Structure 1
Amino acid sequence: MSFEKLRIIEPILKALKNEGYTQPTPIQEQSIPVILQRRDLFGCAQTGTGKTAAFAIPVLQLLHEQKQPEKQKKTIKALVLTPTRELAIQIQESFEAYGKFTGLNQLVIFGGVSQYAQVNALRNGVDILVATPGRLLDLMEQRYVNLNDIKLLVLDEADRMLDMGFVHDVKKIIARTPKQRQTLFFSATMAPAIRKLANTILINPAQVEVTPVATTAETIRQAVCFVEKKDKPALLLHLLTNTDIPMALVFTRTKHGANKVAAALNGRGVAAEAIHGNKSQQARQKALNQFRSKQIKVLVATDIAARGIDIDELSHVINYELPNVPETYVHRIGRTGRAGAQGIAVSFCDGEEKEFLRDIQKLITREIPVRADHPFHNDKANSGVRQPAKTPQIAGKAPGRSSWSNKRRPKRHKTIQ
């Protein structure tokens, strides 16, 4: 399947070719035709499968087909709601890249920064608005945003918006949009609360689900290291300095924990930055840019801050602390092994986290292999957690190759996120 066969218009095809994209992912292949038919859609796909392009491409095409006269002031025709600043920026960049030859413009608005530049851009006219709920609602109440002309409404990462407590803001925003609109609802999970929300805003939707709920990509090799809590800093340093890990995204459960881990790594000569909700937007963007450009080796993140991080070359995800919500594990390790690439996910588990590990293994319906070939292996932490019969090696390890490292196979096609 190619983008041409999906009947994408030439201006967008030209942009996709410029970006080097040739082949749609399954979520894109199934969603784009439905959206172009102007139907509501409920899309469920695990992270890293290309959900952004699955709605960005058809939204651009539909708006291009009904463009306003150039002399007429632009009004907001499409609204994309998303939970975090990082994800909002990523989505806006995607619209900009795919729509560069359409004549449509887009704007991203989020909190944590001055509203001055955002307000000026809104006054100049916008076709596509990408927003986080809090800042959008604030600007709406100040009468800087009018949603009366909305034709397309997109809720992206709806499950995370619920987790973050945005559901009331989202409902207030939706109530201010026209009833005659097309709504696209994307989520990584299909929990009952997600279905309930979708049922209140979608009309006779098509449903697209490209992978089973809460599964991990086969391209990701997973491992768990049993270690005492006090030895986690030493184990992390050991992995980063004694194995072939070019760059790693490290997860902690708390903002304080992220700061502490980043400071400890920098103190031992490993360049690292922390990213979380207490950081300013400027500091978060600076850390992301440093990580993408490989000026730093490690980005330490909390779960909320990590949504929207999309780095093609990310080889390793390390769960310094296991999440207490098993679905979060799937989202975390989905930062690597994206779009068919190979990735490695290593999780540290101390005695207090055994229950979290059991819940994760139950959710993903597989047992994560144990790695004991490090100086801090702790058999006591291992007790009580059911493991595979053969656990010494990660599945897929090539003979003679360190299974901590990730030698990527070349991609046959470049896919689009």
Structure 2
Amino acid sequence: MSFKDLKIIKPLLRAVAEAGYDNPTLIQEQTIPLVLEKKDVIASAQTGTGKTAAFALPILQLLYDRQDAPKKGKTVKALVISPTRELAQQIGKNFKTYGSHTNLKSTVIFGGTGIEPQIDMLTKGVDIVVATPGRLLDLHKQDQINLDHVEILVLDEADLMLDMGFIDDVRKIERLCPEDKQTLLFSATMPFKVEDLAKTILNSPERIEVTPTSSAAKNVSQVLYYVPKKNKIELCLHLMRNTIKGSTLIFRRTKFGVDKLEQTLTTNGYKVERLHGDRSQNERQSALNKFKHGEVNILIATDVAARGIDIDELDAVLNFDLPSKPETYVHRIGRTGRAEHFGKSYSMCSADEKAYVQNIQHLINVQIPVEENHPYPLNPKEQPIVHKKKGSKYKKGRKGDGSKKKKKRWY
């Protein structure tokens, strides 16, 4: 499915393409059509699943026909409430990116910074406001923001908002907006308090869930890193130093890849063993025993070699290369998080592996959260490297260069 299939208008499609996104994520596929139909939505989705675009794109589209300012000036038609200033800034940035080919104006308001520039922006007139609850209520108290024309209200990270004690503020803000507004609620988890809030402020909402409900991921947290192919080894070392702890099983696609990574990690002072088809049964058993008994804490393997091996209490799985078959991914990450233990799965994806990610997500019905905060990010516009096959140096036909020049021959 492409963004075009979701009936997104051309100015937004252009902005999405310029941002380097080709296809919608699971949460976007399911949410965008419902928002465009002006339905209330309650969505369970983690950070990193692309949920900001899931509400930003349809909001921009719904407001597009009224993007030019009337004589009275622009009024706030969409309001997004976010628990933290960092998140609010990120959402505001997304609205600016996706709305770059429209005349719709958005602004971000949050505490801990000067209030005057924010009042100034509101006075000039905006269509969309992204705000933290405290500062929004301050501005409303000072009569600096009017919420009488809000058509769409978004509550993002609702569970975090409740944890931070914003429940009363959220209810107050909801009451300040018109009764007939469309409300969208997003939350990573759905505790009782979030369900209770949803019941009181949403009107027959559609439910969407793209969090780990799959049996493949019951006790395993999953995370995805987009990285250029040439930087995978550097990112692997970075993760080993800073993020991945304990016994780790690393999967590579080829025997050569296993050997190469083993050399690099050993050179960097890690205790490593390897498993692949070219090693004898004794060597493989020895490698496995060392790993099981904690003599080494990193085991690098191909899928073929890893079949059927049983390792208790494995802390993490790292997919150095993503598998082309989504079932293999499920099999790999199922090595950790066994018998009531909790495990972690890390996957590195280069430009030529993006299609594998989509297939995996469709199989497990989970949007794997993306970690963008690392030293080797992949440019979203980067295209896979295509290795062209060179033809034979012998040209078709049997004539040599001499005969082509019609040279006189001695015979």
**What range is the shorter-chain TM-score in?**
0.5 to 0.7
Amino acid at match of 2:312: K
**1:156 alignment counterpart:** 156
Query: What SS is found at the alignment partner of 2:61?
Result: helix
Query: How do residues 8-407 of structure 1 correspond to structure 2 at under 5 angstroms?
Result: 8-212=8-212, 216=220, 218-219=222-223, 244-246=236-238, 317=243, 389-391=311-313, 394-396=316-318
Change (3 A) 1:392 1:110: closer
Q: Distance between the aligned counterparts of 1:107 and 1:174, measured in 2?
A: 19
Judge conservation of contact 1:76–1:149 (CA < 8 Å) in 2.
yes
Paired residue for 1:412, among 350, 354, 359? 354
Deviations 1:167-214 (A, max 9, x none): 011111111100010000111111111100011110011111123469
Q: What TM-score, normalized to structure 2?
A: 0.58
Q: What TM-score, normalized to structure 1?
A: 0.57
Q: Distance between the aligned counterparts of 1:107 and 1:370, measured in 2?
A: 55
Give the % identical residues.
45
Q: RMSD of the alignment, in Å? A: 3.5
Q: Which moved more, 1:209-218 or 1:118-127?
A: 209-218
Q: Which has the higher contact order (CA 8 A, sep 6+)?
A: 1
Q: CA deviation at 1:245?
A: 3.9
Deviations 1:90-138 (A, max 9, x none): 0000000001111101000100111011011111001000000011011
Judge conservation of contact 1:183–1:202 (CA < 8 Å) in 2.
yes
Structure 2: gaps of 5 or more residues: 226-233, 247-290, 298-309, 322-343, 359-368, 371-411
Judge conservation of contact 2:82–2:132 (CA < 8 Å) in 1.
yes
Amino acid at match of 2:66: Q
Query: What SS is found at the alignment partner of 1:246?
Result: helix
Judge conservation of contact 2:244–2:316 (CA < 8 Å) in 1.
no
Judge conservation of contact 1:370–1:393 (CA < 8 Å) in 2.
no
Amino acid at match of 1:180: D
Query: What SS is found at the alignment partner of 1:412?
Result: helix
Q: Distance between the aligned counterparts of 2:315 and 2:188, measured in 1?
A: 30
Amino acid at match of 1:246: H
Q: CA deviation at 1:25?
A: 0.4
Judge conservation of contact 2:319–2:347 (CA < 8 Å) in 1.
no
* Structure number with larger C-alpha Rg: 2
Structure 1: gaps of 5 or more residues: 222-241, 249-297, 299-315, 321-368, 376-387
Judge conservation of contact 1:371–1:392 (CA < 8 Å) in 2.
no
Change (3 A) 1:393 1:122: closer
Judge conservation of contact 1:15–1:99 (CA < 8 Å) in 2.
yes
Q: CA deviation at 1:397?
A: 6.1
Judge conservation of contact 2:245–2:315 (CA < 8 Å) in 1.
no
